[in-house]
Copies of this chain bind each other. A is one copy, B any other.
Amino acid sequence: MRKAVSLAALTLSLAIAGNAAAEQLSPEEQILTRQAGYSFMSWNMGKIKANLEGDFSQQQVAAAANAIAGIANSGMGALYGPGTDKDIGDVKTRVKPELFTEQEEVGKVARNFIQAANNMAEVASMAESQDDVKAAFGELGESCKACHDKFRKD
């Protein structure tokens, strides 16, 4: 029987780890934590998209953009340590091996993403209508896609 590693177990594990060596996440924890960051950003991207397609709430768009920017700037590179380049039991990853070798290209897509996330947060903070954020949101989506296309398996 394979060991199932649930997100709830990860949360508990991180809480316990926090008492000893906070930055010493296992490879499994690194994979799950980076996926948690992407999942949470994806939810917030979806909220912004819904605001662009339906009723517009500047407050909700700004909050979502701030969450994305906060996660984008949190130093997620630390979650791509040794041993996190492939599945570990039930902890699956879609990362391509290239992410661990093409440092220059990785740096470029990462910087573009962070810049687009910061710009989205700034634009959203003073947006008055959907038109004010459409371009910034489009650029942010492109910056996500650029990394997915290069460094994520389908």
Interface residues of A (CB under 8 A from B): 4, 6-8, 10-11, 14-15, 17-18, 21-23, 25, 32-33, 35-40, 42-47, 49-50, 53, 60, 63-64, 66-71, 73-75, 90, 92-94
Contact = CB atoms under 8 A, between A and B. Distances in A.
Contacts of A43: 14, 25, 33, 36
B22 A10 contact: no
A29 to B, nearest CB: 8
Number of copies: 2
A32 B10 CA distance: 12
B8 A94 contact: yes
Interface-central residue, A10, A18, A22, A45, by most chain B CB under 10 Å: A22
B63 A67 contact: no
A71 B68 CA distance: 8
A62 to B, nearest CB: 9
A37 B33 CA distance: 10
A71 B75 contact: no
